[in-house]
Amino acid sequence: MVDDARLADLRRKFGRAPAAPSEPAPAKRTPREAQPRFRGLESGHRACQGCGEALAARLVVECAGPDVMIANATGCLEVFTTAWPESAWRVPWAHSLFENAAAVASGMEAAMKAKGRNTKVLAFGGDGGTYDIGFQALSGMLERYHNVLYVCYDNEAYMNTGIQRSSSTPHAATTTTSPAGKERMGKRHLKKDLLSIIAAHHIPYTASASVAFPQDLQRKVRHAMGIDGPAFLVVHSPCPLGWRHDSRLTIDVARKAVECGLFPLVELERGALTNVMPIREVRPVADYLKPQGRFAHLFSDDVRAQEERDHLQALADYNIQVYGLTGEGQDPADTGGAAAVGRSGRAPRGNDGAARRVS
Amino acid sequence: MREALEGSQAIARAVALCDPDVIAAYPITPQTHIVENISKLVAEGDLHTEFVSVESEFSAASVALGAAATGARAYTATASQGVLLMAEVLFNIAGMRLPMVMTVANRAVSAPLSIWNDHADSMAVRDAGWIQLHATSNQEAVDTTIQAFRITQDTELPVMVCMDGFILTHTLEPIDLPSHEDVRAWLPPLEFDRKLDPADPKSMGMLVTPDFFPEVRHSHHSAMQKALATIEQADADFESAFGRASGGLLTVEGDPEAKIGLVAMGSTVGTMRAGMAHFQAEAGPARLINLRAYRPFPSQALRDAVRGLDHLIVIDRAISPGLGGILGSEVAAVLSSAPDAPRILNVALGLGGRDIPETLYPDLLAAVRDPDAPAFSVFDADLKKLAPEDR
């Protein structure tokens, strides 16, 4: 239950003041005025140009806040938003260690329960802190059914230490610890299917989202915020430095990952698939790979390059099959629709937030 | 009212008297009975707290950290491997200057695997920045636990209450547990100014560049030194409220004119006390120093306590292989600036739960008079059990 009086008080302190009842409502809101009233993550931080994670975190916090507190794993997000005595956070935020964000969040949530407070606890981690080193703590948090929304900003490698492979790094991508060479075509192992593992905990809500589809991302955050129990959201967040693409292409690259089927946007409730974002026009995987330097070796004359490209295409085809990603006809929440409305910042016409239901 | 309680059960009851908001723990021998007794108190409705039964000690410490960051009174307990698995979090909790209390049921560290008592676990995290207090008896462990909750909120330093595994945790003794009302009157509610609160958002655990890092460490060290007075004061206040003290920073007993002294921590103090009483005639007069506060180290109090001694036996329950006794080395360092410092005989006793009989007492006093005795030895090791090349 949201404490309305408390929320109003927090909005008054940290949000833009709502218009007094006597004032006439503004006739038309400019695009700037249509921007969110609350920004939990301020500008001025030290993220790289085109950082997908910075954008994703801002989108999450602006619709989750202000009555939240965050447990943040070690990683880029922690480093570029802090450095004492400066902080970009306008919500209570704590960083402890790389592998314990879920456990710290569990403790915060237990304390909120003990004190009878409704403040929602969020946990933030990268793919390193979530798929790998913090995996045990995350599983424990989900099993114990803490009322926490865990958000994983997935940029598919250890970017904070300088681009080393994680279990989320896609097959065949190069990183500094999975380089391509005479004997290797990049990472030899598959990207871990984390969503299925999380969903196997039978928690109320598990979803994937992408910075390329902010409307969809924020709808999922709002849905998760309303759940009294554990929820998990993984957000595909390109890293121009690590993926070696032009920093102005962050959204474009992220969109292509969804449109080719390599990063499906799905929702699962209690372990069962309930929603997917349909792909309006399925792209070949090569469209997604081409702008990224981490896949450059897949476009050489080497016979293995073609094999690896085929393999990645097969992985995308598999996703399209098992999640049923090719919808029929127009859908306001498909890749075309959600992207088009997302950029304007306005509510999408004809979209009440419901994506296509999988029967 | 005095009740016959097992040490672990008494600790669980003492923790309950302090109204913790959040308890997170993972079972490990010999701490298990503490977690079990807390779980039972919660199940019976005798303790209203959020008890988080976690999947590892690492998460136990992390859950306590998260709770403490919001201004909640947090508690955990562990031992041995659990302390080591927590180690990274323990440094973090102290560095973030978060108040909380942890019981360590001291146990040896593997390998070789041993479930029995020594001090290798808490010694391994001596530099984490926690206050470490040792109890010589279960009554002291109970009283020190209550005091620890006050010390931690007065200092914003986490407090570790060390009690010897099995020797204390599994021993049934008559214990006087204070009433809930009296503890509530003595222990003020936790007011943590830096707590995470949406109405006053703060960032915590931030990156600190070299511009500020040495200052952070200095202030932590300085807070630890100031905590010496807080620990003494808490014990004195406890004594005026409840009629008994737990040993302040250290206690001195025995013959004040003695030329031989012993320093020990934890339950070994009781063994040495018994040895001193039984073997006074043959062993001669001695002074017994019970070091209750191991961190912060009561350097000045120790210098005062050894004044007039010619010989000092320092008993370690853990060693630093390649150096010798840990406590012995620290005592030697602290006394190096004292005039007429006593000659130190450093012995390790009872490693991995080897029984320390009081009959060892006269042997120790004989060794200190032996000019050929090594400055450090694992005193009770039977070298005949080793291959000649390992002796």
The number of residues making up chain B comes to: 391
- Contact between A87 and B55 using a beta-carbon 8 Å cutoff: no
Amino acid A35: pLDDT: 59
Average pLDDT along chain A: 89
Cα–Cα distance measured from residue B317 to residue A88, given in angstroms and rounded to the nearest whole number = 48
Q: What is the pLDDT of residues A45-64, one digit of tens each?
A: 999 999 999 999 999 999 99
Percent of chain B whose predicted confidence (pLDDT) is above 90: 98
Amino acid A31: pLDDT: 59
Report the Cα B316 to chain-centroid distance in Å.
Answer: 13
Enumerate the residues of chain A whose CB falls inside 8 A of the CB of residue B49: 114
Mutate to test the interface with A, among B204, B211, B219 (most CBs of A within 10 A): B204
Amino acid A201: pLDDT: 97
Same domain, B229 and B260: no
- Contact between B66 and A71 using a beta-carbon 8 Å cutoff: yes
Q: What is the pLDDT of residues A298-313, one digit of tens each?
A: 999 999 999 999 999 9
CB neighbour list of residue B388: distance below 8 Å, 6 or more residues apart: none
Q: Mean per-residue pLDDT for B87-111?
A: 98
A239-272 core/surface letters (b: 16 or more CB in 10 A; e: else) = bbbbbebeeebbbebbbbbbbbbbbbbbbbbeee
Query: Which of the listed residues B184, B211, B242 is the one where a domain comes to its end?
Result: B242
Q: What is the pLDDT of residues A258-300, one digit of tens each?
A: 999 999 999 999 999 999 999 989 999 999 999 999 999 999 9
Burial tier of A49 (Cβ tally within 10 Å: 0-12, 13-18, 19+): exposed
Same domain, B77 and B180: yes
Q: What are phi and psi of B5, to 5 degrees?
A: -130, 145
Amino acid B338: pLDDT: 87
Amino acid B16: pLDDT: 98
Same domain, B106 and B145: yes
Residues B237, B186: contact at Cβ < 8 Å?
yes
- Of residues A37 and B71, the one with the higher pLDDT is B71
- Contact between A144 and B53 using a beta-carbon 8 Å cutoff: yes
Q: What is the pLDDT of residues A110-132, one digit of tens each?
A: 999 999 999 999 999 999 999 99
Is pLDDT above 80 for A241?
Answer: yes
Cα–Cα distance measured from residue B286 to residue B272, given in angstroms and rounded to the nearest whole number = 10
Confidence of residue A38 (pLDDT cuts 50, 70, 90): confident
Is pLDDT above 60 for A352?
Answer: no
Q: Mean per-residue pLDDT for B186-206?
A: 96
For every residue of A293-330, which 3-state class applies, written as one string? HHHHHHHCCCHHHHHHHHHHHHHHHHHHHHHCCCCCCC
Same domain, B263 and B200: no
- Contact between B65 and A69 using a beta-carbon 8 Å cutoff: no
Same domain, B230 and B297: no
Nearest CA in chain B to A10: B199
What tokens appear for A47 in the block?
Answer: 């993220």
Amino acid A139: pLDDT: 98
- State the CATH number of the domain containing residue B99: 3.40.50.970
Same domain, B117 and B209: yes
Residues B293, B250: contact at Cβ < 8 Å?
yes
Same domain, B256 and B234: no
Is pLDDT above 90 for A330?
Answer: no
- Contact between B92 and A96 using a beta-carbon 8 Å cutoff: yes
What is the interface pTM, i.e. ipTM, of the complex? 0.96
Same domain, B256 and B225: no
Amino acid A359: pLDDT: 41
Same domain, B264 and B160: no
Confidence of residue A346 (pLDDT cuts 50, 70, 90): very low
Is pLDDT above 60 for A349?
Answer: no
Amino acid A5: pLDDT: 82
Counting the structural domains of chain B, the total is: 2
Confidence of residue B354 (pLDDT cuts 50, 70, 90): very high
Angle ∠(B11,B13,B14) on CA atoms, nearest 5: 60
- A38-342: CATH homologous superfamily? Thiamin diphosphate (ThDP)-binding fold, Pyr/PP domains (3.40.50.970)
Is pLDDT above 70 for B302?
Answer: yes
Give the number of A-B residue pairs with CB atoms closer than 8 Å.
159
Amino acid A17: pLDDT: 52
DSSP codes, B315-348: EESSEETTTEEHHHHHHHHHHTTSTTPPEEEEEE
Query: Which of the listed residues B193, B211, B242 is the one where a domain comes to its end?
Result: B242
- Contact between B199 and A13 using a beta-carbon 8 Å cutoff: yes
Q: Please tell me which of the candidates A10, A95, A100 has its beta carbon nearest to residue B198.
A: A10
A51 CA to chain B: closest CA distance, Å? Answer: 19
- Contact between B63 and A89 using a beta-carbon 8 Å cutoff: no
Q: What is the pLDDT of residues B318-337, one digit of tens each?
A: 999 999 999 999 999 999 98
Amino acid A232: pLDDT: 98
Residues B223, B155: contact at Cβ < 8 Å?
yes
Is pLDDT above 80 for A222?
Answer: yes
Q: At what angle do helices A335-344 and A250-259 cross, to 10 degrees?
A: 160
What tokens appear for B119 in the block?
Answer: 């001090």
Enumerate the residues of chain B whose CB falls inside 8 A of the CB of residue A134: none
Cα–Cα distance measured from residue A94 to residue B182, given in angstroms and rounded to the nearest whole number = 35
Q: What is the pLDDT of residues B17-64, one digit of tens each?
A: 999 999 999 999 999 999 999 999 999 999 999 999 999 999 999 999
- State the CATH number of the domain containing residue B362: 3.40.50.920
Burial tier of B347 (Cβ tally within 10 Å: 0-12, 13-18, 19+): buried
Q: At what angle do helices B32-43 and B7-17 cross, to 10 degrees?
A: 50
Nearest CA in chain B to A106: B63
Nearest to A216 by CA among A60, A66, A359: A60
Q: Mean per-residue pLDDT for B299-311?
A: 97
Mutate to test the interface with B, among A41, A78, A96 (most CBs of B within 10 A): A96
Instruction: Locate all alpha helices (DSSP H) within chain A, ordered by sequence.
Output: 4-14, 52-64, 76-81, 101-115, 127, 135-143, 194-199, 214-225, 240-243, 250-259, 285-289, 303-323, 335-344
Cβ count near B182 (within 10 Å): 14
- Contact between B49 and A114 using a beta-carbon 8 Å cutoff: yes
Cα–Cα distance measured from residue A135 to residue A141, given in angstroms and rounded to the nearest whole number = 10
Enumerate the residues of chain B whose CB falls inside 8 A of the CB of residue A38: none
Query: Which of the listed residues B222, B242, B262 is the one where a domain comes to its end?
Result: B242
Cα–Cα distance measured from residue B350 to residue B367, given in angstroms and rounded to the nearest whole number = 17
Angle ∠(A194,A277,A62) on CA atoms, nearest 5: 75
Cα–Cα distance measured from residue B117 to residue B106, given in angstroms and rounded to the nearest whole number = 6
Same domain, B238 and B289: no
Say which residue the tokens 């491997």 belong to.
B81
Q: Mean per-residue pLDDT for A178-205?
A: 96
Residues B105, B239: contact at Cβ < 8 Å?
no
* Residue range of the domain that includes B314: 250-390
Confidence of residue A341 (pLDDT cuts 50, 70, 90): very low
Same domain, B275 and B203: no
Cβ count near B108 (within 10 Å): 26
Cα–Cα distance measured from residue A167 to residue A104, given in angstroms and rounded to the nearest whole number = 23
Distances in Å between the Cα of B44 and the Cα atoms of B11, B178, B323, B379 are 17, 20, 50, 47
Q: What is the pLDDT of residues A75-107, one digit of tens each?
A: 999 999 998 899 999 999 999 999 999 999 999
Same domain, B85 and B234: yes
Residues B175, B2: contact at Cβ < 8 Å?
yes
Amino acid A327: pLDDT: 73
Cβ count near A310 (within 10 Å): 12
- Contact between A144 and B207 using a beta-carbon 8 Å cutoff: no
Residues B14, B3: contact at Cβ < 8 Å?
no
Q: What are phi and psi of B194, to 5 degrees?
A: -90, 15
Amino acid A11: pLDDT: 64
